[in-house]
Structure 1
């Protein structure tokens, strides 16, 4: 099976609102995520994590990242179509405008 990196994107303003969720709101949201994870079965290799405090690094130095990436998961399947199918029910897509998911296939490194 091929592995895929799944990136969860959201506007910075929405990410900030999530930080202020009540424990009950957070619990309800996590229940939806756990149900989705269970439905993925062996296709979910790593649930991943929330990401924050990103840095943008280039030859000039580093600054705070303006990226909208707020989390990731690692999935595996025979093809990207299966991953897309499993992600259709992902709670992230139901969180509001501007929330979206990117899927990237892990490619093998070239042999030297």
Structure 2
């Protein structure tokens, strides 16, 4: 069955908004989101090949050297599905989008 990389994205201004909330409100969102994330993973366990994780700041390597970089990526996981559309549909109710200030989930097929 085809495998897909699912990359969680978040706009910097959405993260800034979240961080501007009172700590108690952030904690409440985190608590709700973590519970719902675990439930989402349980519902979709058969499709999840690698739970991945959340990621931090980016360091980019080019032919010109190593620099800091910015991108919207904040996490990833690997899923298995019949099609890219089927993989994408797994994320329609994901807490990254419904609870946390996530911007989207990019779905990309592995081609090798």
Q: TM-score w.r.t. structure 1 length?
A: 0.81
**SS of equivalent to 1:33:** helix
- CA root-mean-square deviation: 2.1
Aligned length: 107
- Structure 1, unmatched stretches of 5+, are none
Distance 2:28 2:15 in 1: 18
**Structure 1 residue aligned with 2:30, among 18, 22, 26?**
26
Match of 1:65 in 2: 69
TM-score, with length taken from structure 2 = 0.81
Q: Go from structure 1 to structure 2 and tell me whether the alpha carbon gap of 1:91 and 1:23 turns closer, same or farther (over 3 Å shift).
A: same
Which residue number in structure 1 is paired with residue 58 of structure 2?
54
Q: Which runs of 5+ in 2 are unaligned?
A: none
Mean CA deviation greater in 72-81 or 19-28? 19-28
Measure how far apart 1:26 and its partner are: 2.0
